[in-house]
């Protein structure tokens, strides 16, 4: 099963590029940019990773970004991630980035997006991995700041496929960003929002995402299972859910395999993803392998979840069909 998962052609739809910052790169960039780190070695930094909920993770995640300053830093971060992803047989990625976490530190929007974009181009040409970019707004910042960043992005609209919403969900409902998401939709961008596991008012937030903002996908969204009505809405709207098992484990002490089983039983388009793999110490393959073990998922169920990722990807039907055929061929050859 492990080899079957490792060699399977896959897609990743929920990965924060800043969450792929490996400690070794962090140390190299800190040295180059003369930024002081509080730890002596990459190993010491890793052992200081201590999170048990969203706020405790976010504190460490934002602190880690201070080493990212020049365009080249964003290039290297992105290229390294895409290289790692390709080594895991990931053929297609939708990458989140958090521009506000950089502009607040005095790093320009153009520096960030240009570095990421150039790495995407080079990785596609040199490594054969396709990727598209999703700009996330930080929900614990103001709606005005989100709108300003959407404006900053307009000269680079061709470089974006969609917008997302992340960071601290507490008291920051989807409705706070209704206007900016409406504007983004008018610009032709796809919409997704985080509904992290076990957040206050989570069912209200999921409902707002679907009925008010009219998102195209939901990131996480595990708690929707508590409401028959929400499950029905998710199915009717054919919304993909980008679930991140190892990320969930830090909050709920389980890879949420029971919930993922329930989603599959209900024919909800659940997909498996890595979220912040450098921090959670698990890329996509490790997420799938650990999940399969915890939940004793069958090969067919693993294939369904990987198929779902291609189905709900923001690609045109022809490209999706090509990826799905590749996956089908892999599965039938493996079974022979
Ligand atoms: N930023 C990076 N990872 C996140 C997550 N899982 N939830 C909210 N914001 C995030
Ligand atoms: Zn996330």
pLDDT at 3 over 90: yes
Strands 190-195 and 217-220 turn out to be parallel
pLDDT for res 50: 86
Average confidence score pLDDT of the chain: 97
Q: Structural domain of residue 96, as residue ranges?
A: 2-335
pLDDT for res 335: 81
Residues in a beta bridge with 190: 162
**Ligand 1 atom nearest to CA at 169:** 8
The fraction of the chain above a pLDDT of 90, given in percent, is: 97
Q: What's phi and psi for 278, nearest 5 deg?
A: -70, -30
Report the sign of the C-alpha dihedral through residues 211, 214, 217, 219, in that order: negative
pLDDT tens per residue across span 199-255: 999 999 999 999 999 999 999 999 999 999 999 999 999 999 999 999 999 989 999
pLDDT (mean) for 318-323: 98
| Ligand having the closest approach to the CA of 169 | 1
Judged by DSSP in three states, 195 sits in: strand
CA 301 – CA 308 distance, rounded (Å): 11
Domain count, the chain: 1
Question: What pTM value is reported for the model?
Answer: 0.98
pLDDT for res 52: 87
pLDDT tens per residue across span 109-153: 999 999 999 999 999 999 999 999 999 999 999 999 999 999 999
**Nearest alpha carbon, ligand 1 atom 6:** 275
How would you class 318 by CB atoms within 10 Å of its CB: exposed for 0-12, middle for 13-18, buried for 19 or more?
Answer: exposed
pLDDT for res 173: 98
Residues having CB closer than 6 A to ligand 1 are 16, 19, 54, 61, 166-167, 194, 196, 247, 275-276
Helix (H) or strand (E) holding 160: strand 160-166
The fraction of the chain above a pLDDT of 70, given in percent, is: 100
pLDDT for res 260: 98
**Nearest alpha carbon, ligand 1 atom 1:** 167
CATH value at residue 237 = 3.20.20.140
Query: Ligand 1: distance of its center to the CA of 276 in Å?
Result: 8
pLDDT for res 317: 98
pLDDT (mean) for 19-38: 96
Query: Ligand 1: distance of its center to the CA of 336 in Å?
Result: 41
pLDDT for res 295: 98
pLDDT for res 336: 74
pLDDT tens per residue across span 79-103: 999 999 999 999 999 999 999 999 9
Mutate to test the pocket of ligand 1, among 276, 280, 282, 287 (most ligand atoms within 8 A of CB): 276
**Ligand 1 atom nearest to CA at 61:** 2
pLDDT for res 51: 87
Query: Ligand 2: distance of its center to the CA of 16 in Å?
Result: 6
Do residues 91 and 8 lie in contact, with contact meaning Cβ atoms separated by under 8 Å? Answer: no
pLDDT tens per residue across span 44-85: 999 989 888 999 999 999 999 999 999 999 999 999 999 999
For residue 310, the Cα-to-chain-centroid distance in whole angstroms is: 14
**Nearest alpha carbon, ligand 1 atom 10:** 167
Instruction: Give whole-number Cα distances, 46 to 22, 24, 43, 51, 109, in Å.
Output: 9, 10, 5, 12, 29
Mutate to test the pocket of ligand 1, among 13, 51, 54 (most ligand atoms within 8 A of CB): 54
Q: Smallest Cα–Cα separation from 5: which of 322, 315, 298?
A: 298
15: DSSP letter: E
SS3 for 239-300 is: CEEEECHHHHHHHHCCCCHHHHHHHHHCCCEEEECCECHHHHCCCHHHHHHHHHHHHCCCHH
pLDDT for res 29: 98
One DSSP character per residue, 91-128 reads EEEEEEE-THHHHTTT--HHHHHHHHHHHHHHHHHHH-
Do residues 256 and 197 lie in contact, with contact meaning Cβ atoms separated by under 8 Å? Answer: yes
């Amino acid at each position: 099963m492990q080899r079957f998962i490792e060699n399977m052609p896959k897609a990743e739809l929920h990965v924060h590029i800043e969450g792929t910052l490996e400690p070794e790169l962090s140390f190299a960039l800190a040295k180059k940019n003369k930024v002081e780190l509080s730890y002596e070695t990459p190993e010491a930094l890793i052992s200081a990773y201590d999170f048990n909920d969203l706020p405790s993770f976010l504190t460490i995640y934002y602190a880690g970004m201070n080493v990212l300053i020049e365009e080249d830093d964003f290039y290297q971060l992105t290229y390294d991630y895409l290289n790692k992803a390709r080594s895991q047989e990931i053929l297609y990625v939708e990458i989140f980035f958090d521009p506000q976490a950089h502009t607040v530190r005095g790093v320009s929007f153009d520096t960030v997006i240009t570095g990421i974009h150039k790495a995407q181009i080079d990785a596609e040409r040199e490594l054969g991995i396709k990727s598209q970019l999703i700009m996330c707004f930080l929900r614990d910042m103001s709606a005005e700041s989100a709108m300003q960043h959407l404006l900053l992005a307009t000269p680079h609209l061709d470089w974006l496929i969609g917008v997302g919403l992340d960071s601290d969900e507490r008291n920051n409902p989807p409705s706070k960003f209704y206007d900016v998401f409406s504007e983004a939709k008018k610009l032709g961008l796809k919409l997704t929002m985080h509904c992290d596991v076990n957040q206050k008012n989570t069912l209200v937030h999921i409902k707002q995402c679907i009925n008010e903002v009219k998102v195209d996908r939901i990131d996480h969204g595990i708690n929707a299972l508590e409401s028959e009505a929400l499950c029905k809405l998710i199915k009717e709207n054919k919304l993909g859910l980008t679930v991140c098992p190892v990320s969930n484990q830090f909050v709920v002490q389980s890879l949420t395999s029971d919930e993922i089983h329930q989603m599959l039983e209900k024919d909800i388009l659940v997909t498996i993803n890595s979220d912040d793999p450098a921090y959670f110490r698990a890329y996509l393959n490790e997420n799938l392998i650990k999940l399969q073990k915890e939940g004793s998922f069958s090969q067919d169920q693993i294939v369904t979840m990987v198929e779902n990722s291609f189905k709900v990807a923001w690609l045109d039907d022809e490209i999706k069909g090509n990826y799905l055929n590749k996956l089908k061929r892999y599965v039938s050859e493996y079974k022979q």
